Structure 1
């Protein structure tokens, strides 16, 4: 089975989400740039991001901030989001079961797949809001494999964050690092390799070849 992260892999909305988070955090008195949001919190659940910010700044954030960020993010995604280049091509040609497993809330995953026309490729998606621990813990990927009836060792995870690759590796799965998003910088590939990615892919047209090289599927 192939497990896809959503934002930064299937859809190119990481910059959008980071801009919304930075704007809402600024309103709450936390000065942070979208670039720093991506650097420090890529792949993590929004609630975990806010908890980490509270711990570092020792500032209590508004109780409704997570919901505010979620609603504002979905609004902008519905207006601006685009599929990652060649995502539909990759999903068309990859055989076997596949699903989405993302740190985003369910409504954001659903909106992202619907807006970009990629929902037709997936019967199942899983959100880290359903498990005790978010990435880099393995909970989400183990949950997805269990629900899909697939052994962890038979799963390949496509991820664009070090937290996600770490989670996949901890789950006993094979990780493919993706660096083709508009947010990706020159260091991302090395970061994903260091986290445990077996192969780095910069173009989703090459994903099938990477999967075949790893598993012969």
Structure 2
């Protein structure tokens, strides 16, 4: 069985930082968003899809360097403030299965996230939504990861924190565990993931090993 981990909100507690940076940059451009707005609408989705949605919703064109502005500010915050999800390293090391990362973020952000949180050595194989035509909730990224790892979709188990990610895993015909231990997850988030189709939801990484074994 192949374990496929999302990065933001599953391996690293990045979403509160990222949502605030996105909101600040958009508000400075005259498009007022709160961090809560960003979390509700865009967590789990690619930058490309977020830009397309914002431009459609506001009938506007964002600056050509919008993504660069976001990443420049966010990467600086990551260097000083980003932390791993509590217990995630031990949880991963306790599992004997092959593993990889499949994230909506750009490769540079994933690499930085894993480096500053001390998790980079756990993953030889990292996949980004920039490598496929459609981001989550489409199944493309997870199917690409499975193909590159030489595993059938039915042999994969995905760990995801976003409704889009859960939907993508199910669309790829993979099993999925919802995770709600990130700093962006409010008390309603578990039910949101269940409504997206997650058959099981955990809120601590100490629960991961037993949950994986139950689903294997």
CA shift at 1:196, angstroms?
1.3
Give the equivalent residue in structure 2 for 1:105.
106
Give the equivalent residue in structure 2 for 1:197.
198
**CA offsets, 1:100-123, max 9 Å, x none?**
000000000000000000111110
CA shift at 1:94, angstroms?
0.9
Confirm whether residue 67 of structure 1 aligns to residue 38 of structure 2.
no
In 2: Cα distance, 1:78 partner to 1:20 partner = 14
Please, what is the CA RMSD of the aligned residues?
0.7
In 1: Cα distance, 2:107 partner to 2:139 partner = 18
Give the equivalent residue in structure 1 for 2:23.
22
Give the equivalent residue in structure 2 for 1:182.
183
CA shift at 1:81, angstroms?
0.2
User: What pairs up with 1:198-217 in 2 under 5 angstroms?
Assistant: 198-215=199-216
What SS class does the counterpart of residue 163 from structure 1 fall into? helix
**CA offsets, 1:87-137, max 9 Å, x none?**
111111011110000000000000000000011111010000110000000
Confirm whether residue 158 of structure 1 aligns to residue 132 of structure 2.
no
**CA offsets, 1:175-214, max 9 Å, x none?**
1000011110111111111111121010001101000111
What SS class does the counterpart of residue 83 from structure 1 fall into? coil
**How many residues are matched?**
215
**CA offsets, 1:35-81, max 9 Å, x none?**
11001101000121111011011011101101211222111111100
The two structures have a TM-score, normalised by structure 2, of 0.98
Give the equivalent residue in structure 2 for 1:47.
48
Give the equivalent residue in structure 2 for 1:171.
172
What SS class does the counterpart of residue 176 from structure 2 fall into? strand
Give the equivalent residue in structure 1 for 2:92.
91
Give the equivalent residue in structure 1 for 2:9.
8
Unaligned runs of 5+ in 2: none
In 2: Cα distance, 1:208 partner to 1:92 partner = 10
